[in-house]
Structure 1
Amino acid sequence: MRVLICPDKFAGTLSAPAVAAAVASGWNPSDDLVLRPLSDGGPGFVEVLAGALDGRLLDVETVDPLGRPVRGQVLLAGATAYIESAQACGLHLLTREERNPGTTTSYGLGLLMMAAIEAGAAELVIGLGGSATNDGGAGMLAALGAAPVDVAGYALPYGGAALSAAVALGGEPRLRDVRLVAATDVDSPLTGLHGASKVFGPQKGATDEDVFRLDAALEQFAGVLERAFGVTDLEVAPGGGAAGGIGAALIAVGGRVVSGIGLVSTLIGLEKELDAADLVITGEGSFDHQSLRGKVVAGIANGARDRGLPCIVVCGRNETGYREAASAGVTETLSLTEHFGSAETALAEPARGLRELSERLSAQWSR
């Protein structure tokens, strides 16, 4: 039996390769196991691609969402550089007490981009997801030489809240005509009911009042970007709300938006592996309503459904209804929280839990 194991990360506990290895450790060894860890553009994007592409990793000194030094890596494969925004803007870089999308910045992403440009890349593919920021890419643009300024011409403080005073950009981004691709994990617009602030702001530390102010600030900044780069409808562009609005800034400077899971799947040859599989196992830390909107599980389940393959989801916790999951192509869902009967144990021993779930599944599915 050919079993394709292609999970995303379990955020905060296991990387995608570690999840795949844990599942494989519990399966019947007489079966043919194919491990293809995945990323939808969020944390793990560079690690997953580095394991599949013939390239080299470039170490880069950058900063985290609060401006503190942190190390990142850019994957250089031919003329293309693959960059992971979460390495500089990731929510995992902050403690819960430090989360504040009004002040966190995407400046570090701009430093990663500059390093890739200086290394000679002609195309930057930027994975967006898992960010702690809500600044519409303002910090990124500042690092590239185009900081937002107020009516007096002074550069604004970092963070999403300050953008309510933005009236222009203080320069042109130094991009040297590189091609830009935003690999997103969501198709959310920049503003509004389904925008960056409303949907993702609360998990980044925003209160209800903060959400209102941040959304208004992004609306103001969208107007600045439209005037600066001659674009329109930036507030409603699909994917513009990715990574706290970084997607919108990349669109404004000429970037195109693609599905993160679609891009990764193509680069690692996942379609071929799906064609050859008898059973598919995927998963992520939290399987919820967002999982079925452009994330790894949705892409894998849809592909399995189209081929008539059973698709099993393993997760840390399951907050998706059976009918909703089944309509996306999911055959069965197993969670560590239900397996252990405790969220604390699920977080403390995810590898053991995945191995044990895999043993149970192997007894059920293996020929």
Structure 2
Amino acid sequence: MRIVIAPDKFAGTLTAIEAAQAIADGWSTVDPDAEHELVPLSDGGPGFVEVLHTALGGKVAAEEVTGPLGAPVRADYLLVEDTAYVESAQACGLHLVPEADRDPGRTTSRGVGELIGHAVAAGARTVVVGLGGSSTNDGGAGMLAALGAAPRSGLERGGAPLSDLSGPVDLAPARRVTEGVRLIAATDVDNPLLGIHGASAVFGPQKGADDDQVQRLDAALTAFADATDPEGGLRETPGAGAAGGLGYALLLLGGTVESGVSRVLAAVDLAVRAASADVVITGEGSFDSQSLRGKLPHGVARTAAEHGVPCLVMAGRVAVGRQEAAAAGITETHAVADSAGSVEAALARPAEELRGLAARVARRWRR
């Protein structure tokens, strides 16, 4: 029996690589003769560079850049020939900010711009920026400042000070740095920059904003959009609100928005791998209604279904009904929390409980 194991990370507990290995280890205890192919995945958020390096090879370059609170952090990017892959979360991720210090009004995306600048200086002619897991809500202003946009002092201090902008922002220096470089925002978030479906309203609370601050941040981003895109077209683009508005900043530099899931699935040749599999297994921390709106498990299931291969989901928790899952091409769903007895038990022993769940599922599927 040949099994392709292609999970996303289990946020806060397991990387995609760790999750794939746990599933393989658990299955092997029941079916030691099964052949496993581990294909850890990322949708553009945390793990993006690691997953693509595993799939594509290339050279990982380590840089010291400005972190979300201004202190230096180490961040890697991947260079494969003349294409660079940048993981924005490595420079401005929520995991870099202690919970007590989370404030999307003051976190900056400056480090992402520094990473892009390093990649361009190293010869990249295409830069794919994975968006997800950010702590910022600055519309990518810090990123633009790092690339030379002015006034820098008004752009690199976080989301809240953007409300004080007066007059236009000079993007010409940043556009010169990236001239001739294809910029791609890799995300499966389709939110615009502003409004009830925008960056502040939808993602601000996850980053520490209360209701009042959400309103102030949206007003600040409106001022920033008025200073950078007075005609208003780019702010409405699906994906502009990704990663606190980093998608919008990349659009200002002439970038495009592409599906992070589709790009990663193509990079790892999942269609070819799935075609010769008996079962495909995917998973993530929480499999819910958002998972069926273009997130990784949905992409994996769609790929498996195209080749008539059953697809199983193993997730920390499952909040999707059988009919919804089946409509998305998913054969079965299994929750670690149910298997472990509680969410708390699953979080306390994530790898062990995921291995146990995989073993129980294997007993039903072994040949």
* TM-score normalised per structure 1: 0.93
Q: In structure 2, how many angstroms separate the alpha carbons of the residues matched to 1:99 and 1:341?
A: 32
Per the alignment, residue 160 of structure 2 pairs with 161
Per the alignment, residue 103 of structure 1 pairs with 106
Q: CA deviation at 1:321?
A: 3.5
Q: CA deviation at 1:349?
A: 1.2
What is the identity, as a one-letter code, of the residue corresponding to 1:117?
V
Does the Cα contact within 8 Å between 1:128 and 1:183 map onto a contact in 2?
A: yes
Q: CA deviation at 1:236?
A: 1.6
Q: In structure 2, how many angstroms separate the alpha carbons of the residues matched to 1:178 and 1:38?
A: 26
Does the Cα contact within 8 Å between 1:138 and 1:148 map onto a contact in 2?
A: no
Per the alignment, residue 318 of structure 1 pairs with 318
2:215 pairs with 1:216 = no
Decide whether aligned partners of structure 1 residues 305 and 83 sit closer, same or farther in structure 2, where only a CA change above 3 A counts: same
Per the alignment, residue 306 of structure 2 pairs with 306
Q: CA deviation at 1:346?
A: 1.5
What is the identity, as a one-letter code, of the residue corresponding to 1:21?
Q
User: Cα RMSD between the aligned structures?
Assistant: 1.7
Q: CA deviation at 1:311?
A: 1.5
Decide whether aligned partners of structure 1 residues 346 and 137 sit closer, same or farther in structure 2, where only a CA change above 3 A counts: same
- Range with greater deviation from structure 2 (271-280 or 349-358): 271-280
What is the identity, as a one-letter code, of the residue corresponding to 1:168?
P
Per the alignment, residue 3 of structure 1 pairs with 3
1:246-287 deviation digits (Å, cap 9, x = unpaired): 001101211111100100111111111122222111011122
Does the Cα contact within 8 Å between 2:114 and 2:147 map onto a contact in 1?
A: yes
Does the Cα contact within 8 Å between 1:201 and 1:211 map onto a contact in 2?
A: yes
Per the alignment, residue 139 of structure 1 pairs with 142
2:188 pairs with 1:188 = no
Write out aligned runs for 1:142-291 (5 A): 142-148=145-151, 155-156=154-155, 158-166=157-165, 167-171=167-171, 172-173=173-174, 174-227=177-230, 232-291=232-291
Q: CA deviation at 1:322?
A: 3.4
Secondary structure of 1:50's counterpart equals helix
Does the Cα contact within 8 Å between 1:3 and 1:34 map onto a contact in 2?
A: yes
Does the Cα contact within 8 Å between 2:191 and 2:199 map onto a contact in 1?
A: yes
Per the alignment, residue 55 of structure 2 pairs with 52
Per the alignment, residue 342 of structure 2 pairs with 342
Q: In structure 2, how many angstroms separate the alpha carbons of the residues matched to 1:62 and 1:293?
A: 33
Write out aligned runs for 1:22-61 (5 A): 22-27=22-27, 28-61=31-64
- Range with greater deviation from structure 2 (290-299 or 347-356): 290-299
Per the alignment, residue 83 of structure 1 pairs with 86
Secondary structure of 2:283's counterpart equals strand
Gaps of 5+ in 1: none
Write out aligned runs for 1:326-365 (5 A): 326-365=326-365
What is the identity, as a one-letter code, of the residue corresponding to 1:252?
L
* TM-score normalised per structure 2: 0.93
Q: In structure 2, how many angstroms separate the alpha carbons of the residues matched to 1:165 and 1:298?
A: 42
Q: How many residues align?
A: 360
Write out aligned runs for 1:104-119 (5 A): 104-119=107-122
1:87-129 deviation digits (Å, cap 9, x = unpaired): 0111111222121111111111111111111211111111011
Secondary structure of 1:82's counterpart equals strand
Per the alignment, residue 18 of structure 1 pairs with 18
What is the identity, as a one-letter code, of the residue corresponding to 1:280?
V
What is the identity, as a one-letter code, of the residue corresponding to 1:81?
A
Decide whether aligned partners of structure 1 residues 185 and 130 sit closer, same or farther in structure 2, where only a CA change above 3 A counts: farther
Does the Cα contact within 8 Å between 2:106 and 2:159 map onto a contact in 1?
A: yes
Q: In structure 2, how many angstroms separate the alpha carbons of the residues matched to 1:188 and 1:292?
A: 16
Gaps of 5+ in 2: none
Per the alignment, residue 292 of structure 2 pairs with 292
- Range with greater deviation from structure 2 (162-171 or 15-24): 162-171
Aligned-pair identity in percent equals 55
1:71 aligned to 66, 69, 74, which one?
Answer: 74
Q: In structure 2, how many angstroms separate the alpha carbons of the residues matched to 1:156 and 1:112?
A: 17
